[in-house]
Amino acid sequence: MATGLCLKAIGDEMVLSDTQRGLVGGTKMVGLMIAILASGFLSDRFGFRPFLIVGALCNLVGFTVMSQSEGFGVLLVGAAVAGVGIGMGDALLSPLACATFRERRTRVMNLIHAFYPVGIVLMILLTMGMRSLGWDWRDAFMLLGLAAVPYGVAVAVIRLPQQSHEGDDRQGTRQILSHGVFWLLSAGIMLGAITELGPAEWIASFIEIATEQMEQAETAAALGLLLFAVSMAVGRLCVSRIVDRLGARRLFVSACLVCVVCIVLAAAPLGAWLGERLDTWLTVFWLAALGFAVSGLWPTVLGCAGDRFPRGGASMFAMLGAMGSLGGFIGPVTIGAVADAHNLRVGLGVLAAAPLLAVGVGMMLPRGTGTGAG
C-alpha cells in the first residue's frame, strides 16, 4: 500500500508510463509469490523462525533500495526484494494462525487479517505526517525499511508452534492438488486478490489525478486510500463475527456481487451529469465501499482451506498465497496497461470481470465449505 500511496509521485519524478507504474506494484507481488512458495514448503521442514527473520531482513534491504533508486530498473529490484520479505511473513502468518487456533479457523483468519488494513491506516497517517513536514516518498520507504528491524527482533525471540498441521503426518502436496475443491479455492483467492490489490495500488493515483485541479489533491488521494483501508478493517472484523451464521460460501458469493457493483460505479464517468467535484467524492465513496466488500475474500478462502485440509501444512497455504500473489500482479498491471491504452477509469472498470468470475467459482464450491452452513 505504501507503493500505491506514492505511485503518482514516483511516476512523476522518474517519468514513468502507467504500465511502468503498474509494474512497480506488480513486481513486488512477483517477489512476494516466489517467497511464499519457497518459505511455505521449506518451513514445513525447517520451522517458521529462520524464514521470518530472513523476511524482516529483506524488508529492510528492499525498501532501502527503493528509497535510494535513481532508475526504474533499481526501483523494480528493490520492489522485488521487499516483496520477498513481505511474502515470507505472509506465507507463514496463515499456517501459524491455523496451528494456534484450530477451532473456527475462518473466523480467526478474518480477525487476524483485519490488522493488515489497520497497518495500512497507520502507514497512511505516518506518510501524511511526513509529507506535512516536507518529506518525500523516498523518506517514507526508508522508514518502512527501518520498521522491519523491531519485527525481526520480535520473531527471533517469541515462542512459535513446532508444526503447522494437525496430526503427526502432513498431507502430501499431490493429495491436495488432486482435490477439485483446492483448485476452486485457488481460483477464488486469485480473483479476490485481483479485486483487492488491483484497485488498492491505484486508488491514490486515481483520486489524485481526478482532483488535480483542486487544492490539496495529494491529501484527497491519501484520504481516499485511508477510507479504503478503514472500511476493509471494519469489514474483516464484521466477517469474523458473521461467517459462522452466514456460511463461508454464501459470504464469498455475496461479497463478490457487491464488489462488482462497487467497481462499476466507481469507474463510471458521471462527471458530465453530476459535476467533477461530486463525481470525485462519489468515486471515493464507492472505492471505500469496495474495501468493505472485498475485505473477507482472501482470509475466508484461507480459512476454508484450513478447514478442508487440516493436515495441509504451510506448503498448502503457500500454494494458495502464490495464487493470491499472482492475482496481485495481474490486477495493478492490467489497470496500468488499459489506462495507457484508454484511461484510468476504463482500467479500473475492466477489473469488475474478476469478482464476476469469482461469483461463478463460489457457486461451484460444495455446500458446507468452510465454517458454517455454506
Q: Is residue 372 part of a domain?
A: no
Q: What is the pLDDT of residue 216?
A: 59
**Digit-coded pLDDT (tens) for 222-249:** 777 788 888 988 888 887 677 777 788 8
User: Is the CB of residue 325 less than 8 Å from the CB of residue 87?
Assistant: yes
Residue 355 domain flag: yes
Residue 262 confidence (pLDDT): 93
CA distance linking residue 140 with residue 103, whole number of Å: 39
| Domain boundaries, position 49 | 2-364
Instruction: Write the CATH number for 22.
Output: 1.20.1250.20
Give mean pLDDT, residues 251-277. Answer: 83
Three-class SS state of 272:
helix
88-115: pLDDT as tens digits: 877 777 777 766 776 666 677 777 777 8
Mean pLDDT across 112-138: 79
Q: Is residue 308 domain-resident? A: yes
Q: What is the reported pTM?
A: 0.74
Among candidate residues 299, 338, 264, the one with its CA nearest the CA of residue 110: 299
User: The C-alpha cell of 226 is what?
Assistant: 485511508
Q: Quick one: pLDDT at residue 374?
A: 38
User: Based on the structure, what is the number of domains in the chain?
Assistant: 1
Determine, yes or no, domain membership for 374: no
Name the grid cell of 91.
506465507
Percent of the chain past pLDDT 90, that is, above it, reads: 20
State residue 215's pLDDT score. Answer: 53
When mean pLDDT is compared across 101-105, 252-256, 259-263, 360-364, the lowest value belongs to 101-105
Q: Count CB atoms within 10 A of the CB of residue 177.
A: 12
- pLDDT, tens digit, for every residue of 192-209? 999 998 888 788 777 776
How does residue 25 score in pLDDT terms, banded at 50, 70 and 90?
A: confident
**Is there a domain that residue 337 lies in?**
yes
pLDDT of residue 96: 75
On whether residue 373 sits in a domain, the answer given is: no
For residue 51, being part of any structural domain is answered with yes
User: Measured between alpha carbons, how far is 303 from 314 in angstroms, rounded to an integer?
Assistant: 13
- In angstroms, the CA 374 to CA 106 distance is 12
Q: What is the full DSSP assignment across 64-77?
A: HHHHH--SHHHHHH
Q: What is the pLDDT of residue 372?
A: 41
- Rounded (10°) CA dihedral 118, 240, 196, 352: -140
Q: How confident is the prediction for the chain on average, in pLDDT?
A: 81
pLDDT cut 70: percent of the chain above it:
86
Residues 358/263, Cβ–Cβ less than 8 Å: no
Q: Please tell me the predicted confidence (pLDDT) of residue 373.
A: 37
pLDDT digits 0-9 by tens, 265-282: 988 877 656 666 677 778
Tell whether 350 is covered by a domain: yes
Per-residue pLDDT tens digits for 280-290: 778 888 888 99
Cell of residue 346, nine digits = 476504463
